[in-house]
């Protein structure tokens, strides 16, 4: 499977870009008008299904890459940080889209999730748990 490393990595990178972009756009649409058309589109079933599909491809590619390069969470520290922060990111996203009571709370949770997402990307690029803060 190593011969497909470049293709799997490319799918993974594009899935990250699509997933993060869709999350950003959904949050921006919700904040633009929670009950207006943009907010309804952000929470519509086709958009949710697109998000689930992209994230499934992303995680599948991640598992394939992990197997190909033989680096694993709880053995390789940078992957452990990515996995732990992935759960934080998902939790913040769910809280922002489903449980936030006020617009300010929704915006804060959404912004925190975006910062976590960006930090996860920096950890992946650096292959270091410190990510952007790596020496």
CA distance 126 to 124: 6
Res. 121 pLDDT band, cuts 50 70 90: very high
For range 80-103, the mean pLDDT:
96
Q: pTM for this structure?
A: 0.92
Q: What is the 3-state secondary structure (H, E, C) of 22-80?
A: HHHHHHHHHHHCCCCHHHHHHCCHHHHHHHHHHHHHHHHHHHHHHHHHCCCCCCCHHHH
For 33-74, write each residue's pLDDT tens digit.
866 776 688 889 999 999 999 999 999 999 999 999 999 999
């Amino acid at each position: 499977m190593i011969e497909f490393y470049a293709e799997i990595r490319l799918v993974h990178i594009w899935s990250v870009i699509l997933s993060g972009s869709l999350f950003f756009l959904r949050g921006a649409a919700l904040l633009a008008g929670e009950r207006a058309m943009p907010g309804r589109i952000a929470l519509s079933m086709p958009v949710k299904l697109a998000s689930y599909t992209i994230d499934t491809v992303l995680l599948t590619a991640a598992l394939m890459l992990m197997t190909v390069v033989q680096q694993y969470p709880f053995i390789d520290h940078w992957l452990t940080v990515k996995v732990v922060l992935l759960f934080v990111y998902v939790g913040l996203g769910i809280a922002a889209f489903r449980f936030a009571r006020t617009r300010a709370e929704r915006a804060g949770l959404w912004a925190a999730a975006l910062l976590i997402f960006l930090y996860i990307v920096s950890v992946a690029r650096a292959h270091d748990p410190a990510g952007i803060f790596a020496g």
